[in-house]
Amino acid sequence: MSMIKFLRSSTHNALRPSLGWYRHAASRPRYDYDLVVLGGGSAGLACAKEAAGCGARVLCFDYVKPTPVGTKWGIGGTCVNVGCIPKKLMHQASLLGEAVHEAVAYGWNVDDQNLRPDWRKLVRSVQNHIKSVNWVTRVDLRDKKVEYVNSMCSFRDSHTIEYVAMPGAETRQVTSEYVVVAVGGRPRYPDIPGAVELGITSDDIFSYEREPGRTLVVGAGYVGLECACFLKGLGYEPTVMVRSIVLRGFDRQMSELLAAMMTERGIPFLGTTIPKAVERQADGRLLVRYHNTTTQKDGSDVFDTVLWAIGRKGLIEDLNLEAAGVKTHDDKIVVDGAEATSVPHIFAVGDIIYGRPELTPVAILSGRLLARRLFAGSTQLMDYADVATTVFTPLEYSCVGMSEETAIELRGADNIEVFHGYYKPTEFFIPQKSVRHCYLKAVAEVSGDQKILGLHYIGPVAGEVIQGFAAALKSGLTVKTLLNTVGIHPTTAEEFTRLSITKRSGRDPTPASCCS
């Protein structure tokens, strides 16, 4: 069967099952459960709770394998435990350190000299919050009548899941009409000597007991850049090793601006460089050997911590997907437009699926919509287009829609107009903070009312700014509407309503005044 036929047939099948569920729900159940969810992260929990709210009998499995250095955590998945939440808290901690210096310029009588964070106290505070969320999640599952089992599990066949409730116990089996795979992913390690034994990842840094010190962050995706920036803001010395380009998949101009901002703040980059080995020295520090692929020269340096941020892999190896007949692509599961796998009653949502954005809000919404289609008669599919996202660096970068490169590639350079401008946040003036990299742009069609295809913003609280514009963009926002919108003054978000200079014009996009 061709891929197109598979997608058509499986999407059709995926939109029908609610009728079948209603027919058997009132009679004697054929299976132990209506839905078994594998994975207790954002996608799995959202799907499980929504399905239970529709009256389905739901069982959720979740299990976390400890990292090589022994880090483990509770229910809630990557976002709650080792992703979005602790990352945002560390980001906030680093911004507060910067704000103390700004407070002096604003007249506050505070001593901003020799500021040092208490790393252990920060980690303890972050972990206490995470544990409170773990507890609330367990209570929420109980209240919503979702059964929860903390155990590794795998397929025996397409309707049967087997697991061991505790070490040494006998293998148990449960059956379910539908199964949703939402096991997510974990960070990759490079295949070099010392990588696993001596390095850590984002799975470890938020609970790391000792101060990171001089840290080599290997990888220049958003995880690597965010970690490097909050470490710098907390007073440590990060260096970022880049294999090729920063923020692959994001707008090139904005990515390079972000890297320039980091460089200005004292974060060095090792460009076009790959690690070759990590060795522990007699003093306990780590010697990293590396190779520059441009100059073809080898080098080395000593660090206190090496943090791998080279991407993530899907956790499919323990699921025995072959027994269920589920097709995969590398370490991800192939699904159609309705999240159905090659087996019509088995679905996948979240980071485990191939070719979809790996973002928590995407996982949550897709999980909920799937549950409604299965158990509430809904036909609404997840829309994966124009999903907004933010990179939480000191000046944040947020975007929604197409990059400038993608728009040109799909529509042609002659059919694209880019409105852009630098701006000066009012709150930056008194502490004399750099405004060199405060920049935004709108990528639009050149004709008609000029429908906006992408919005990009580097500056303070970028996520808060772009979230509202994301709804406007999905609703068909045009340049005409944007420029006819009265801004809120003085804010940085209003700069989008002031975009009047195009790249094509060649005019200087630097503003002369904030109020005219």
**Beta bridge partners of residue 184, listed in sequence order:** none
Q: Out of 12, 24, 329, 489, pick the active-site residue.
A: 489
**Per the annotation, does 219 bind a ligand?**
yes
**Per the annotation, does 88 bind a ligand?**
yes
Rounded CA-CA distance 231/117 in Å is: 11
For the residues of 137-159, what is the DSSP string, one character each? HHHHHHHTTEEEE-S-EEEEETT
**What count of other Cβ atoms lies within 10 Å of the Cβ of residue 72?**
12
**Per the annotation, does 383 bind a ligand?**
no
Tell me the residue type at 308: W
345 Cβ contact partners less than 8 Å away, ≥ 6 residues apart: 17, 158, 159, 177, 178, 179
Which spans in 340-448 are helix H?
360-375, 404-411
Sheet holding 286-292, edge to edge: 273-280, 286-292, 298-303
**Per the annotation, does 449 bind a ligand?**
no
| HSE, side-chain direction, 13 A CA sphere, residue 41 | 33
**Per the annotation, does 423 bind a ligand?**
no
**Per the annotation, does 220 bind a ligand?**
yes
**Per the annotation, does 240 bind a ligand?**
no
For the residues of 72-84, what is the DSSP string, one character each? ---TTHHHHHHSH
Q: What angle do CA 453, 458, 463 make, to 5 degrees?
A: 75
489 is catalytic: yes
**Per the annotation, does 221 bind a ligand?**
yes
Rounded CA-CA distance 187/351 in Å is: 12
**Per the annotation, does 225 bind a ligand?**
yes
**Phi, psi angle pair for 123, to nearest 5°:** -60, -40
Give the CA distances from residue 128 to residues 120, 122, 249, 377, 407, in Å, rounded to whole numbers and listed in that order.
12, 10, 34, 40, 44
Rounded CA-CA distance 188/38 in Å is: 21
Which spans in 191-265 are helix H?
195-198, 202-205, 222-233, 252-264
Name the residue among 193, 226, 227, 255 with its Cα closest to residue 405: 255
Name the residue among 34, 77, 39, 76 with its Cα closest to residue 58: 34
**Per the annotation, does 277 bind a ligand?**
no
**Per the annotation, does 222 bind a ligand?**
yes
End-to-end alpha-carbon separation of the chain, Å? 62
Catalytic center residues = 489
The binding site comprises: 88, 219-226, 311, 351
The binding site for NAD(+) comprises: 219-226, 311
The binding site for FAD comprises: 88, 351
